[in-house]
Amino acid sequence: MKYNSLNLELLKELQSMLAVPIKYDEETLERYSRDETAELKAVKPEVVVFPVSTEEVSDVMRFANRHLIPVTPRGAGTGLSGGAVPAFHGIVMSLEKMNRILEFDAANMMITVEPGVITGEIQKLADRHGLVYGGDPCSSESSSIGGNIAENAGGNKVMKYGPTGYHVYGLEVVLPSGEVTRLGGKMIKDVSGLDLIHLIVGSEGTLGIATRITLRLLPKPKYSVALLIPFPDIDTAIAAVPKLMTGSGVVPTSLEFMDASSIKAVCSFLNMEFPYADAGAHLIVEVEGSSKDSVFDDYVKLGESAIEAGGLEAFVADNRNTREKLWKARKSIAEALASISPVHCMEDVSVPMASIPELIKFSEEIARERGLEMIAFGHAGDGNVHVSFIKGDMPEERWNEALPLALEELYAKTTGLGGCISGEHGIGLKRKKYLASITDRAQLDLIRGIKRAFDPSYILNPGKIVDL
């Protein structure tokens, strides 16, 4: 693609339509050319803009169309696939200043927000009103809802509540042309026209920019209990997942797993101890309910089924002290990983649940063959595994050689198991070339066709997911 670049005059024009100063100093450009994807090769934008209203977003898109300048929309910059960093310079549109809660509608159990609101703030607000927002990515304290929607973020409560898309009922979207459209609303049912909301959700900011978001809230369960269950090995742990559900008749809210290396990493990072630290794997199983007694019955059944299925012990965290400690460990693995080895590659493959052990064993093998270190953790209940390769002390040249080969093998294996290469982090820049190699032609053409229908001049987040 050939785009125009921004000269001083264009920058002036851009500034004239925006309330907040645009930025193009080196440090800002550098900062907005990165997200949290380790080792990503992206390019710097020429300017970063901070719109504060739908109108401003729309004006910038019209401007970009007029002058043929690419626009990369961006939330809080916590992405893990390079979705919010430019592939072609141009404009980075940061939505961080559109961070207002527009309406809290208790009667309809709906909340309407701007895209820059931090997800954790939505969770806290809902909580104060006795409600729950079901989306819960590990990054909830720092990621914004707009970004969650772009990636259809999953997280820890997908078992019960589903990923981000399950909670989105209404969207105001600025299309790449600058036109504004409103999709859905506060209706729970809606088959009037195509389900464009769920085409936008997960489209990684390539089809439009959500500027007003209506989310459904649910009643908050009064009690939650988390169980920590060590297993001798990954196989037993994963095989126990369906057994503990059918054995107990309970659908947990969360069902997470951590392998021995993950536990080791997080314990050293947080300077904490874990029981059975040398076990092959740990499951965290969380269950919610409306009364203490019912939750007790549920967790006892879950725990006993888990032990029957080979669990070494079941530890119970049923209050603030202990639950926070457990979840802190689970949610800190990514940070722990970054502290052990800033150079690493956290993957996001998703397979049918029962295939997790095979996938992990295979990953261990390819890591061993190539001299890489590896840890694995993720969402056992939904088959989403964060296989992560670690560079450690390996010389850079060898890492650069070994990693792509390992990834190719990992993705091939994932597809072979009937899985997909990203469950919740997205394709972005990081996995673009791999997606093209494993997706059939008809589907790739369809994706391209949809992109063209939305964005004929190819200016909104170009170079992501697939190339035209």
Partner 1 sequence: MRILVLLKQVPDTDEVKLDPENGTMIREGVGTVINPLDLHALESAIRIKESGEHELTVVSMGPPAAEEALREAIAMGADRAVLLTDRKFAGADTWATAKTLSAMIGLEGPYDLILAGEKATDGETGQVGPETGAMLGVPVITYVSRIIEVGEDGIVVEREVEDGRETWKVPYPVLLSVTKNVNEPRLPTLKGKKKARNANIEKMGSEALGLEPSTIGLMGSPTRVVKINTPKLSRQAKLYEGSELIEGIARLKALLKPYLEVNHE
Partner 2 sequence: MSEIWVIAEKRGTQIHSSTYELLGKARELAWKRGSSVALALLIQERPTEETFRNLFRGGADRVMIAVDKSFERFDFGPYIRVLKEMVSQRPPEVILAPATTSGRTYMPGLAALLGTGLTADCTGLDIEEGTGNLLQTRPAIGGNIMATIKTPKHRPQMATVRPKTFSPLGEVYRERGEIVDFPVRPELVESPARLLKFDSIGEGEKGVQDAEIIIAGGMGLRRMENMAPIYKLARMINGTVGASRKIVDSKWIGHEAQVGLSGHTVKPKIYIAAGISGAVQHIAGMQTSEFIVAINRDRNAAIFNFADIGLIGDATEILTQLVEAMELEVRK
Q: How far apart are CA 375 and CA 387, in angstroms?
A: 6
- Binding partner at 319 among partner 2, partner 1, none, C-beta below 5 to 8 Å by kind: partner 1
The least distance separating partner 2 from the CB of residue 142, rounded to whole angstroms, comes to 5
Q: Segment 140-179, which members bind partner 2 (CB under 8 A)?
A: 141-142
User: What is residue 454's DSSP assignment?
Assistant: H
The residue (of 269 and 296) whose beta carbon lies closer to partner 1 is 296
Give the one entry of partner 1, partner 2, none that residue 465 binds, where binding means its C-beta sits below a cut-off of 5 to 8 angstroms depending on kind: none
Instruction: Indicate which of partner 2, partner 1, none lies near residue 118 (CB less than 5 to 8 Å, by partner kind).
Output: partner 2
Helix (H, G, I), strand (E, B) or coil at 219: strand
DSSP 21: P
- Name the binder of 296 from partner 1, partner 2, none, CB < 5-8 A by kind: partner 1
Tokens 């409103």 sit on residue: 182
Backbone phi and psi for residue 259, each to the nearest 5 degrees, phi listed first: -85, 175
- The residue among 27 and 396 lying less far from partner 2, judged by its C-beta, is 27
Question: By the criterion CB under 8 A, which residues form the site for partner 1?
Answer: 227-228, 272-273, 275, 296, 299-300, 303-304, 307, 313-322, 325-326
As given in the structure block, the two tokens for residue 241 are: 């997942």
Q: Of 25, 273, 393, 396, which lies in the binding site for partner 2, with binding defined by CB under 8 A?
A: 25
49: tokens are: 């803009």
13 binds partner 2 (CB under 8 A): no
Helix axis angle for 234-248 and 356-369, nearest 10°, is: 170
Q: Which long-range contacts (CB under 8 A, 24 or more apart) does 190-194 make?
A: none
Residues in 104-123 at the binding interface with partner 2, rule: CB under 8 A: 118
Residue 125's identity, in one-letter code, is L
Q: How far is CA 35 from CA 78, 138, 176, 203, 430, in A?
A: 6, 16, 23, 17, 11
Q: Is 27 in the site for partner 2 (CB under 8 A)?
A: yes
- Amino acid identity for residue 117 in this structure: V
- Determine which residue in the list 190, 235, 304, 335 makes contact with partner 2, applying CB under 8 A: 335
What is the DSSP-derived secondary structure letter of residue 221?
P
Q: Out of partner 1, partner 2, none, which partner does residue 303 contact, by CB within 5 to 8 A per kind?
A: partner 1
Choose the one of partner 2, partner 1, none that binds residue 7, judging by a C-beta under 5 to 8 angstroms depending on kind: none
Give me the residue label for tokens 């009937």.
Answer: 418
145 vs 306 by CB, closer to partner 2: 145
Which partner from the list partner 2, partner 1, none does 142 bind, CB cut-off 5 to 8 Å by kind? partner 2
Closer Cβ to partner 1, 317 or 359, answer by number: 317
CA 244, 246, 248, 252 torsion: positive or negative?
A: positive
Q: Of 175, 239, 267, 270, which lies in the binding site for partner 2, with binding defined by CB under 8 A?
A: 270
267 Cβ neighbours under 8 A, 6+ residues apart: 273, 274, 277, 329
Stretch that binds partner 2, among 39-47, 263-271, 285-293, 405-413 (CB under 8 A): 263-271
Which partner from the list partner 2, partner 1, none does 335 bind, CB cut-off 5 to 8 Å by kind? partner 2
Question: Which of positions 188-217 make contact with partner 2 (CB under 8 A)?
Answer: none
- Contact window for partner 2 (CB under 8 A) among 149-157, 265-273, 290-298, 422-430: 265-273
Q: Are 200 and 183 in contact (CB under 8 A)?
A: yes
Tell me whether residue 31 or residue 448 sits nearer to partner 2 (CB atom): 31
Coil, strand or helix: which one is 97?
coil
Residue 141 binds which one of partner 1, partner 2, none, with CB within 5 to 8 A depending on kind?
partner 2
Q: Structure tokens of 366?
A: 């390819």
CB atoms within 10 A of CB 159: 19
- Name the residue among 41, 37, 120, 123 with its Cα closest to residue 77: 37
Nearer CB in complex with partner 2: 115/230: 115
- Beta carbon of residue 84, minimum distance to partner 2 (angstroms, whole number): 15
Nearer to partner 2, 142 or 236 (CB): 142
> Are 211 and 174 within 8 A, CB to CB?
yes
Q: Residue 7 gets which letter from DSSP?
A: -
**What residues make contact with partner 2 under the rule CB under 8 A?**
25, 27, 76, 96, 118, 141-142, 269-271, 335
